[in-house]
Every structure is written in structure tokens, then in C-alpha cells.
Structure 1
């Protein structure tokens, strides 16, 4: 099972470059950054743009996978975004994975001045977003129209090095999203069920893991309905919802084993921050990295 780490885009690049290099040196399989304009409790803290950050990360690394955790349609159109993704695929030498979701209901949902969509409309927009991105990145010219997006003779030349297109890791917890992930995804991403704020007891943790297991069973059914083979697509678990996996080495190892038992192929944690959300010690991250060769 592969292990990845999310690096929040909060540092100026003069400092952040060393963090991305360090993720590769430590042996993590993939490194990601959030695709938000601002995020939750960090809304008024430094926050840099996603695509330039990943382009820069691609130029200071050579082997680690890179990706968006996860790209949002809240403020993106598939046509210009596909051109950026094609370029990222090229600059990274085929190391880029598009993590993509339906777009949250937080600050980013209304930052352009429009009303937040209903859950039903968000799901329909998500289907349009992924469907059109899939078409754009597979062929040199695309004309298509959906409910929320359209393209007219959109050119994607010369295309990226990944064939037939760069991988999609589709984030989905609900049935429509899971069906989309099973149909077009090279990976399925889940955060498991949400946890109530302040609900940190052992019973709540067990409840979260049971919910993750139930989601796996639902995705099995979506995979079968889509005619995909067992083992397809890859399964990514964002493990820091149940509890912060880097609270200690023992916590991480327990988290890893639970995810492995449920059939996940990849787990993703967050680079420790000095305080607040994902607060932790880099020494724990290093201890996890030391164990990676034996875990694979």
C-alpha cells in the first residue's frame, strides 16, 4: 500500500521548495496540495495557488507522484483547466495525478459572487466537469455540451506524456459520485463519513472506521455496475478525518493496518503544521518514512 502526504500551500516558495524535496527524499509515494482559494480555519492565513505550486514542485523533484487533493469545479472551467493539466503532465514527466471532487460548500463555493448550488446541482456539475475533462485530455480537439459546461473545438495539442490521459482520482462519498469514479476514475478517493467537531473518543473513531468499511462496500457495488475488474480503480483514503494519523508512529501504523484490511491501495496524511489543524512533529513523519520500505 502506497503512502502520500498533503503539503498545504502556505509557505512562500523559497521555504516550500525544501518541503517538497524532503517529501521525495523521505520516500513518500506521492505528494499533494489542496485546491482551494482559502480553506476553513486557515481562511485568513497565507495561501498560494494550486497549479503554480505543483509546477514548481515538479521542477524541484524527479520521482515522487504529484497531485491535487482535490481539484474543485467551484471556480474552474474544464477547458482552460485541461490546458493547465496537460502542461503539468508534461512538466512533471507524467508524474501528475488529478485528484478531483465536486467542490465544497465553503468559502470557495460563493467567492465568484454566485449562489451556492444545491447538492443535486453540485453532483450534476461534477459529472459534467469530469466528463469534459476526460474528453479534453484524451483527444486533440473536443466539442461537447453538458448542463454546466461546454467546449467548442477546444484544442489540446500536443497532449501530455501520460496515455491515454493523465490519471484521475475521483473523490466521492455519495452514490452518484461513486458511479462516476467507477466509470471514469483511475482511482477513488474518500474521506470516510464526517465526524462531529469535538467528537474524539474511541467510540467515535470505531464508528468512523465502520463508516469507511460501509463506503467500501458501496463502492464495490458501483465498480461492479460499471463493469470494472476487481482491484480497479485504486482506492485512496484520506486518513486524517478519523484522527490525525501522525499523532504518533503507533497511531499511524494502526491507521495503515486498518486501511489495508479494508482494501485501500493508498493512504494520504498531512505534513505536520506547527499549530492548529494537523499540528504535529516532523519527527513522527520521519519515523513513518523510516518504516515505509517494510510496509510496502
Structure 2
């Protein structure tokens, strides 16, 4: 589970670290792949400060009741450092997750409705002692949640959303919103899509009565066509552009030796040594 990397990312000074919550992913499906909750549990055991999360957990193969039990254990073991990233899942991205269980993937409308129920039921399970609830896709009958989350009333949700319905879920339940943008084949178009999505999320928050600053904003920098850790300067530029669009947090992928996210760990070390201190100074109060 690459425990040295979890230690290193904390020692480098990053604020949060994440793992995918898939049964397999794209070209990495035939390589080593561990479950998200055990992986984050191992990470929690070798770190003490950094926040740990899923990016993102989906209802593709999870039911909220047993999932909540695993999350409660992880929150306890980590002493309240869990951030729960949640997303609807999509066959264009998570193809293997959609098909490995031998069931046809649901159409988009049903997928979004299922996601809304998934988030709502998790919110209840993680914030109250007993839950009875029923929807079209999920149900719980007198589900217990003792001892509850270390973080009260529950661990923060970071909700992935690009469309209007999932944005409403993010605005209702999220302490954070995360996006991958659209128009991913062209760098300039991808950044324009982030600006447009950020404006739409502002409008969604306003419609629910929440101010724009009530929800942290995350962007997966590597969802675009340029790998953010191609160089330290590339990362610095991407973080600056994201900040100008109102994003409070960015996520980048640990460099791999080859294939997707191929790069050099020396770039990550340079970012930690040179770029992170600059960012820390820029956000510190004068």
C-alpha cells in the first residue's frame, strides 16, 4: 500500500491526501489495486496530521449502511482526519466499476437519483445514532451508528459535481465541492470550463441560501490535458490559475514511472521544497 508515500506526502507539507475508491481504474485495472478503506486505514496508522480521503466514493458498488460502518472506523483510527469525497460515478470514467458486478449500468437520470439518495442516507447515518429511511435505490431500517464520528456532527463531505442536479446535492450536503472540469482535450477550453462551472456553483449555492465562501472548492488538476507535475513551474502556474477562479484546494497525482501520470518524483520534491512554502506565505494573514 506504499506506506512510505503516505509518510512522505505528510512530511512534504501537503494538506490532504487521497485514494481512488474504485474496484479498478482504466489502464491500471490489471495492476496492484487495494480497497480504499483499508488503504486509508494503513495511511492513518503512519501519519498524524494530514487529512485523508476518497476521491471519490460512488454508489456503483456500495450501500450506505455498511459503508458508513467502515467510515466510522476510519474516522476513529485517524482521530478525525477523514474527508469523504463522493461522486455519482459514470460509465465514461469508471467503466470497470460499472460492469464488473455483471449488471448493466443505470441510465444517467437513474444514476443521478441514486447518487442523491446515497449522499442523503450517508449524511443521516454519519450524524445520528439510529436511522430509518427509504428511497427508490437505498433503504435503512433502524441502522445503528454508534459511536458516531470523531468529527461532529459528521466528517466533511466533498461532493463531485459538474451538472445542475449533482451541484444541488453538493450545495445541500457538501462542506466541499470538487470538479474535474469538461472539454478535457484542450487546455484553454478546460480552464474556461472550470470558470463556467465555478460560476454555476455560485448560482447553485445562492439558490440554496448558502454564501459562496461556505463551501471549499477543489479541482483535480490532472483531469485536464496537462499533467500538473510535469514540472514545478507547471504546478505553480496551475495552482495560481485555480486560485484566480476561486478554488481553495487542488489535487494532483503522485508521479508514476510510466503510463498515466508519468513523471518524476524529483518534481514533487521541488514542489514541496520551493512551491508549497510560497503558497503558505501567500495565504497567511499579513
Q: Output the TM-score relative to the length of structure 2.
A: 0.95
- CA distance in structure 1 between the partners assigned to 2:58 and 2:253 by the alignment: 19
**What stretches of structure 1 move > 2 A for 4+ residues in a row?**
none
1: CA distance, partners of 2:183 / 2:40: 28
Pick one of 162, 165, 179 that aligns with 2:168. 179
Q: Which residue of 2 aligns with 1:24?
A: 10
Partner of 1:220: 202
Tell me what 1:240 maps to.
222
- 1:194, distance to aligned residue in structure 2 (A): 4.2
Shift of residue 230 of structure 1?
Answer: 2.5
What CA distance in whole angstroms lies between the structure 1 residues aligned with 2:237 and 2:126?
38
1:261 matched to 2:239? The reply is: no
Residue of 100, 109, 112 corresponding to 2:101: 112
Which 5+ residue runs of structure 1 have no aligned equivalent? 1-12, 197-203
Match of 2:24 among 10, 29, 38: 38
Greater Cα offset, 102-111 or 127-136: 102-111
Q: How does 1:12-161 map to 2 (within 5 A)?
A: 13=1, 16-105=2-91, 106-161=95-150
Contact 2:74 2:82 survives alignment (8 Å): yes
CA RMSD, 1 decimal: 0.8
Count of residues in Structure 1 that have an aligned counterpart in Structure 2: 275
SS of 2:141's partner is: strand
Q: Give the Cα–Cα distance (whole angstroms) in 2 for the partners of residues 154 and 194 of structure 1.
A: 42
Higher relative contact order (CA 8 A, sep 6+): 1
Classify the secondary structure of the residue corresponding to 2:223: coil
Unaligned runs of 5+ in 2: 281-286
Distance 1:293 1:63 in 2: 17
Q: Does structure 2 conserve the Cα–Cα contact (< 8 Å) formed by 1:79 and 1:136?
A: yes
The CA deviation at 1:109 is: 1.0
SS in structure 2 of the partner of residue 70 of structure 1 = strand
- Write the distance in 1 (CA, Å) between the matches of 2:48 and 2:234: 30
Q: d(CA) in 1 for partners of 2:212 and 2:182?
A: 24
**Matching residue of 1:188:** 177
Tell me, in whole angstroms, the C-alpha distance in 2 between the residues paired with 1:223 and 1:274.
41
Aligned partner of residue 87 in structure 1, secondary structure: helix
